[in-house]
Chain A
């Protein structure tokens, strides 16, 4: 659907997902170019998270193809998809509350292709999130919501992903913290990680993204450069609360 510049790192083609008899996604197709931040925005139940879950292998699409670096990954078990370089920070953070911050990060490195880079990755994570370093021995469950989200992102980075899938990183956080998280997402992207960002907070997501895809009732309503979407009156009215 996007004009083909070069081979996209992630390409979703005609993907449909069913939950029982209910169709959650209707023939969704889009491409993610290497090095970009692509954001999926839309209301509750529009199919954003389902798309992400289909990509990371947590749900299996009924039809369609998901190509990651030219290889169809539909049907590959979720834990093997991580090894290919596609890592998700799951919705609701999904951190291990009864383990320490450092242990959480260790688990993130479980599927890292290069075990030798463990310490370097750990340092990089702590550099991005100095607060986590202070609290590395603390139980993750004692962190604040914002810190838990930081941990979820830092942990996902431990597996050295080429593409990072972020599911609602702003969920339930204070505006200041959200801003900080979004800044860090931009930094991560600048360091060369392609990011696919699912967000309800469309305005902020589109401000940091290169490309935006607007979902509605399991279908793609519209898509385009993030800056253009932000200017479009129709989009502003429907999704950005103007």
Chain B
């Protein structure tokens, strides 16, 4: 009952707060990002700035994984794999282009265009990979899908480890640092916007129906395999873009960065934020990225590596306190509306009163 009450306003297309999803506000947000882009680096200092950038990249990863794990209900554990595909492709493109045409670097606009183009190609590469992996494996369910995607992530890592063209175990270095605050957060906003719109569309309702009951969805004429593969490929696209941003921020790609720990980190963000809540993924991504860094002074202070111990303790505590994640399946808009109208408790009463009425025996 408690769970159902939480879900009450999960998705309602007639919801006035869907105005939140109107393009105007998102464009405004992008404009704000670019204004901040010129101020923030000096204001924050390099250390905090780096955390902010990584948080932005993690937002992209968490939100895109939520589309697969949360909204479609398919447990994928290979997100780091897609991230590395996108990262390597886009990093390879820019490094090769700059070697052959060094003049690109003299023109800021041309440089940006090359960068964004490489991100797109990286994303598309990840999409193709996602499609290839998804088509056969999405016929599996639950644990089996998790194992297959986990295996895929490892395969990708080993492939890059043994690929001389991208540096093998040495990694790919000499990547230009194209990823600015502006680009990272523009793409993060783009990701949130796109996923939001998809989830609130008819196609999104199809994804939800797959999560809820696959057989019933099929009986409604939903092609469940197609729906799953689409969600999977779309999630992979954004993971690939995030990989590209990551590569062009750290300026070095090494296969070890993308092991299954990385995948788990993203899964933890999705689960902690709430499977099926975009706002939850955003909040959890920012929170966990900062938490890991915030605990660093503690390690210096005590001289013991307490960081991961406390990090895990925090996770365990939060999952015990809120098993459905910080937001459950609700969005920040639902919470805001309930808070403003103060009607959440009234609704709960109404539901309780109406449920057992007529046909209570049924």
Contact = CB atoms under 8 A, between A and B. Distances in A.
B219 A94 contact: yes
B293 interface: no
Interface in B261-289: none
Interface string A134-146: 0101110111111
A43 interface: no
B220 A146 contact: no
Contacts of B106: none
B7 interface: yes
Contact of A145 (B213, B329, B359): B359
A173 interface: yes
A99 B202 CA distance: 13
Contacts of B360: 144
A54 interface: no
Interface string A78-118: 11101100011110001111111001001110110000000
Given A90-B215, A98-B212, A138-B351, A159 B220 contact: yes
A106 to B, nearest CB: 6
Nearest to A143: B355
A211 to B, nearest CB: 24
Contacts of B220: 82, 87, 107-108, 110-111, 155, 159
B139 to A, nearest CB: 12
Contacts of A79: 218, 221-224
A128 interface: no
A241 interface: no
B218 A172 contact: no
B212 A174 contact: no
Contact of A90 (B216, B351, B358): B216
Interface residues of A, number: 46
Given A90-B215, A99-B205, A107-B217, A174 B222 contact: no
Interface residues of B, number: 36
A235 interface: no
A157 to B, nearest CB: 12
B interface, by DSSP: helix, strand, loop or mixed?
A: loop
A144 B358 contact: yes
Contacts of B216: 90, 94-96
A174 B209 contact: no
A108 B8 CA distance: 20
A139 B213 contact: no
A108 B205 CA distance: 11
B219 A78 contact: yes
A147 interface: yes
Interface in B1-20: 4, 7-8, 10-14
Query: Which of B213, B218, B220 counts the most chain A CB atoms within 10 A?
Result: B220
A107 to B, nearest CB: 5
Query: Which of B10, B12, B216, B354 counts the most chain A CB atoms within 10 A?
Result: B216
A100 B12 contact: yes
Contacts of B359: 144-147, 173-174, 176-177
**3 closest A-B pairs by CB:** A111-B221, A145-B362, A94-B216
7 contacts: A98-B208, A98-B212, A106-B205, A142-B355, A144-B356, A173-B361, A173-B362
Given A106-B202, A110-B202, A155-B220, 12 more contacts: A78-B218, A88-B219, A96-B213, A98-B7, A107-B205, A144-B355, A144-B357, A144-B359, A144-B362, A147-B362, A174-B361, A177-B359
